[in-house]
Amino acid sequence: MSVTPTGVQEVGPRIAVLLPCYNEAAAIGQTVAGFAAALPGATIYVFDNNSSDDSRAVALAAGAVVRSVRQQGKGHVVRRMFADVDADIYVMADGDATYEAAAAPAMIEDMLRDDLDMIVGARKSEVEAAYRRGHVLGNRMLTGLLKTLFGRSFTDILSGYRVFSRRFVKSFPVLSAGFEIETEMSVHALELRMPVGERITAYAARPEGSESKLSTYRDGWRILRMMLQLYRTERPLWFFGAISSLFVAIALLLALPILITYLDTGLVPRFPTAMLSVGLVILSALSLMCGLILDTVTRGRLEIRRLAYLGHQAPSAALAVGYAEAERRAS
């Protein structure tokens, strides 16, 4: 199927464009206009997060549905967006006019054609000013770490430009508060073995008067911490198994000289060190047991999330419903 703006509007699934916004008066109007031109059949929502400028008024004037989120942080905004908006396909982008709105129809077409649950708009910029110093290196490092921890990854895990199916959105328990939300989305898709994809999209510099809210070091640390927390909760056996192995290795290093002396003389010198080694072995066993128990709990949680995911239609099924509804109205 070829997804065109007219086709999507007439018989396609319901599309919602979700734009988190915080002090983006200089860019939000351009962002709304771009997505309105690319997807004229979609409903565009701007979720304002306590902006102190004219972001709300500009978004309203541009024709968006504007809602407010009082809890500060992008994660809180995404939680409200996914809970409050009802649609079949969700297009999420930042309200800073940096993402290529014209790529949205092609991303939706990819989703419907291949029955994908998430399409990530991997950013490619020809403008040096589009990326702040350190962001490219930090993104590559975090992307590589995610692949190391979970075995798979995306080219650009920090991209805020994504297209979601309804079953992704309604099965995603948002836990993040800030910019680490993109990492949590990626891990959610990887853990549930969802069919996902990527599409290279243009990435532009911010309009004049618009400033980035992302702090390279503070938010980079929060993203790294989120990865480690997700690894602990989603891979508890590996996480606590690594700690168990560390304790055993330290215990062996401490106990080996004592063991050699005992075999030679029959005496146990440095008794406190021997007791420390025994304590480390006990801690190692306890850590391994924690990993085994939590792994069982995690598998149960994963099954519940999987059932919640399967409780919603695939994107192609939503499209079929749209055609059926159009035929019913025509008759």
pLDDT at 127 over 50: no
Interval 261-296: pLDDT, tens: 878 887 777 778 888 999 999 999 999 999 999 999
Higher pLDDT residue, 311 or 199?
Answer: 199
Higher pLDDT residue, 105 or 187?
Answer: 105
pLDDT at 123 over 90: no
Q: How far apart are CA 180 and CA 125, in angstroms?
A: 22
Higher pLDDT residue, 304 or 135?
Answer: 304
Please compute the mean of the pLDDT values over residues 31-56 and round it to a whole number: 94
Instruction: Quickly list H helices, the chain.
Output: 5-10, 28-38, 55-61, 74-84, 104-114, 135-150, 166-169, 181-191, 216-234, 236-265, 271-310, 315-330
Q: Cα 40 to the chain's mean position, in Å? A: 27
- The fraction of the chain above a pLDDT of 90, given in percent, is 44
pLDDT at 130 over 50: no
Higher pLDDT residue, 67 or 183?
Answer: 67
pLDDT at 321 over 80: no
Predicted confidence at residue 139, as pLDDT, reads 66
Contact in structure between 78 and 174 (CB atoms under 8 Å):
yes
pLDDT at 9 over 50: no
- The fraction of the chain above a pLDDT of 70, given in percent, is 82
Grade residue 39 by pLDDT with cuts at 50, 70 and 90. Answer: very high
Please compute the mean of the pLDDT values over residues 107-113 and round it to a whole number: 92
Tell me the HSE value of 1 on the side-chain side, using a 13 A CA sphere. 24
Q: How far apart are CA 64 and CA 204, in angstroms?
A: 22
The domain limits of the chain are 5-233, 236-307
Predicted confidence at residue 141, as pLDDT, reads 72
Predicted confidence at residue 116, as pLDDT, reads 93
pLDDT at 69 over 80: yes
Q: Give CATH for domain 5-233.
A: 3.90.550.10
Ordered strands of the 196-202 beta sheet: 65-68, 43-48, 15-21, 89-92, 162-165, 118-124, 196-202
The residue count of the chain comes to 331
Q: How far apart are CA 243 and CA 248, in angstroms?
A: 9
Grade residue 302 by pLDDT with cuts at 50, 70 and 90. Answer: confident
